[in-house]
Structure 1
Amino acid sequence: MAQKKGFFNSRQWLRFKRDTAVFAHRFPWFTAIGLLLTILGTAYIFQLRYNQVRPGGEDYEYLTYIKAVYAVVNMTFFQLTYADMPPGSELDIFAIVVPPVGLVLFTYLGLKVIRFIRIAFVRGERGQEWQEAVIEATVKNHIIICGLGRVGYRVAGQLLAYRQPLAGIEETPSPLVDELLAADLPVILGDAENEETLKKAGIERAKTVLVCTNKDFVNLGIAFRARELNRRARIVLRLFEDEIVNDIKTSFKVDAIISRSAVAALSFTYAAIGGEIIETFTLGERSYVLTRVPIGMHSPMLGHTIGQVTEAQDITVVCYNSGRTLTIEPDPATLLQAGDNLFIFTTIDRLTPLIEFGLSHNTPPPGSEGPILVCGLGHTGYRVVTNLLGLNRQVVGLDFEPSRLGERLHELNVPLKYGDLRWNSTLIEAGIQQAAALVVCTEDDMVNLQIALAARALKPALRVVMRIFDDRLGEQLRQTFEIDAVFSTSALAAPDFVSAALNRMNVRTVAIEGIEQAIVRLQVTLSALYDVPVAELQEEEGLSVLLHARGEQVNIPPAATTRLRVGDEIVVLAAPHKLDDLNRRNKTLHELKAEGYT
């Protein structure tokens, strides 16, 4: 199937179609038709009565229906003078009744039309009434995103790129909301826990409700209300507290629960000890990671082949790059050199020794090196600390003031320091000079940068991992100040929310020596991918299948003869231009027709 190209698939055409649909839906047709029928009916009665009365006797001029309509309109606007009125009193009732009734109806219609034209054609006047009209007239079988903060903003942007039908709910206006409105996302401003607000967003017609405000209790309330109003919708919930996940899934009939901080914290944690997680997977009862392991100057891997490393470390090397060359399923005889990178699938528990093995032959054992300082003990910082504790690392927690999560860490015997983290004295007191790494993950981007620069001034060789919301700005800061790793928690977590919302496709982007590649995880549907052999996909340029899972069986790499079945999961490495094609091929026939494919 090919999608319609050119103007009829352009943004301008799509906007025109949307505006036309809203016009057809919200124009005051009932009032307009009622007024028209009133005029035509009155004209018919006036014509009939006029010709019965015959003003002027036998010499009167027969009144046609068209002239009767004209006369009624003239009477409505007081265009009928005394001289124009027929002799006798039989027709006076029309001159008395028609003007006030007609004027009221015309005024009522006029006000409605003017109001509609104002919101339909003057973009600056498009307030909530327009947003509600767009949802009511054009959106169905859609995804509702409750909470358009940093996570919701990212999720909405990715779903818009996939051309998914969407509606958003946010309590108050914000610059992020303004950006989404400019991208044609209809947004309802209001409390998402309120039934009326959800109804304005089309909750009864929604296929998925994604709840991602930054307050757990609010999210629970929204999920409960959404489930009451729509029993069939898929509900994806953002939640911090792991302990209640199973209870919430059962009690609220929630399809997926995701913790932004839990997803993001893994990347911060392993970046702090020198690794890089590209993607995490839970397949069956095991957790896997796709990680990039750089080959350091003193790595024991130097001089060994990929096959030797694979056998010794019990790992699967899915691709390898040297310089700007990326090789999928590399030759086991390939000799490793300093500066090379291995992209490896392994279980999460094998990751730490693998990182240490790759970086240096004299990496000190866990616990013997200096502490890792974690600045900002919010949701992300808390999880980074607990992850590091699980890896037997020394950790010191820092924050501006005590908090609930800080108290939890105190109960775990984590050393805590409070104060202005931008001050040298606070960092020195926390042990910055002896620290192995610094993780800066407060909610304030500017504060994060100030802390990172202050720490680097005190210890130039310190490994620094920093949190920044804007990806592009983060990359510029990383290069400018030579920060080891910069992450956006919302960018890290957004693909998981998108995947859960669609119940299908998860995409991560990785730049390999400036070459952008996408790691795509998808679940096969009854689509064009059904019954396709893996070998056929492997032969396509820009597409390589890295993993295939069916039930509890996971194959890395998959057998070339394997044919895809509904429910199978595959992980592929794809060039960016292949993403749209891959997404299209995994759509059902009904979905393709709904999106304009022929």
Structure 2
Amino acid sequence: AGLVACVIGLAVASMAVTREPPLRATYLTLLDLFAINNPAIGEPAGRQVLQLFSGLVGLLLLPVLLAAVLEALGTFRSGSALRKPPRGLSGHVVLLGVGKIGTRVLARLRELNIPVVCVEADPEARGLALARRLRVPVVLGDVTQEGVLEAAKIHRAHALLALTSADTTNLEAALYARTVRPDLRVVLRLYDDDFATAVYRTLRAAHPQALTRSRSVSHLTAPAFAGAMMGRQILGAIPVERRVLLFAAIQVGGHAQLEGRTVGDAFRA
């Protein structure tokens, strides 16, 4: 629009100075802008001054026009590239790590229409394809480096989900995020359940006004895995605080202590 306005303005000025018809005035203006050799020798002084001015404007506009063309080509070429977080984004969830677990969490968050910004250090991570398809903003970089969480708008985020496979990375990111925003909701993925318990208690004591959750994925999945290995049909494993409530289906036919009895009758500590 700016380029068109400049051309129209110069064409109108050329019409006023040279008294040329609109089409010829526009043609002369374009010749001047593109520096095509058509010197105004023998023309009135106003026409010569206008040609010099048009040439100067053309020198300024041509780089802008070239940059616009290159930007458009780059945009079309990177149409499937990762999006960057919008400038005014707020109330979103910052998701660290889009590996196996992070990818499933990302899919679930988008099913719930919760805005998400992903942070991933590996440009080949498995969840980046899903983020690209769902048009989820992604920040590529090491979360322990300065400026990465800021790029994900952590200061305006609703919650932080640290789900990388490295405990130290998750813990460091959570501690840094709390320095930026002490009341930020944080969920940590940690391998060892005892360590997760200690981190949970420490962060809860340090930030009593904020919600903190730390979970050991191996601890949560172990009962279901063990039940499946024993031949049980696992219907669900529900984490309740730091324990797991396991639902399994078993065959009671042929078991005298179970067959024909209620759960209360068959219960034994």
TM-score, normalising length: structure 2 = 0.76
* Secondary structure in 2 matching 1:144: strand
Q: Give the alignment partner of residue 243 of structure 1, picking from 182, 198, 201.
A: 198
Structure 1 residues 139-218: aligned runs within 5 Å: 140-174=90-124, 176-184=126-134, 185-218=136-169
- What is the CA RMSD across the aligned residues, in angstroms? 3.5
Measure how far apart 1:87 and its partner are.
1.8
Measure how far apart 1:214 and its partner are.
1.4
Give the match for residue 236 of structure 2: 278
In 1, are the aligned partners of 2:203 and 2:212 still within 8 Å (CA)? no
Measure how far apart 1:200 and its partner are.
3.2
* Secondary structure in 2 matching 1:220: helix
Measure how far apart 1:180 and its partner are.
1.6
* Secondary structure in 2 matching 1:279: strand
Measure how far apart 1:152 and its partner are.
0.8
Give the match for residue 122 of structure 1: 77
Q: Distance in 1 between matches of 2:211 and 2:145?
A: 19
* Secondary structure in 1 matching 2:126: helix
* Identical aligned residues as a percent: 23
* Secondary structure in 1 matching 2:51: helix
TM-score, normalising length: structure 1 = 0.38
Q: Distance in 1 between matches of 2:171 and 2:41?
A: 71
Give the match for residue 63 of structure 2: 107
In 1, are the aligned partners of 2:143 and 2:149 still within 8 Å (CA)? yes
1:16-40 per-residue CA deviation (whole Å, 9 max, x = no partner) reads xxxxxxxxxxxxxxxx53x455445
1:244 to 1:143, Cα distance in 2 relative to 1, 3 A: closer
1:288 to 1:263, Cα distance in 2 relative to 1, 3 A: closer
Q: Distance in 1 between matches of 2:254 and 2:66?
A: 81
Measure how far apart 1:245 and its partner are.
1.8
Structure 1 residues 169-568: aligned runs within 5 Å: 169-174=119-124, 176-184=126-134, 185-230=136-181, 233-240=184-191, 241=195, 242-251=197-206, 253-272=210-229, 275=232, 276=234, 278-282=236-240, 289-301=245-257, 303-304=259-260, 308-313=261-266
Measure how far apart 1:246 and its partner are.
0.8
In 2, are the aligned partners of 1:139 and 1:166 still within 8 Å (CA)? no
Name structure 1 gaps, 5 residues minimum. Answer: 1-31, 51-60, 315-349, 354-598
More divergent stretch after superposition (253-262 vs 265-274) = 265-274
Measure how far apart 1:218 and its partner are.
1.2
1:129-157 per-residue CA deviation (whole Å, 9 max, x = no partner) reads xx22xx31796532221111221122112
* Secondary structure in 2 matching 1:292: strand
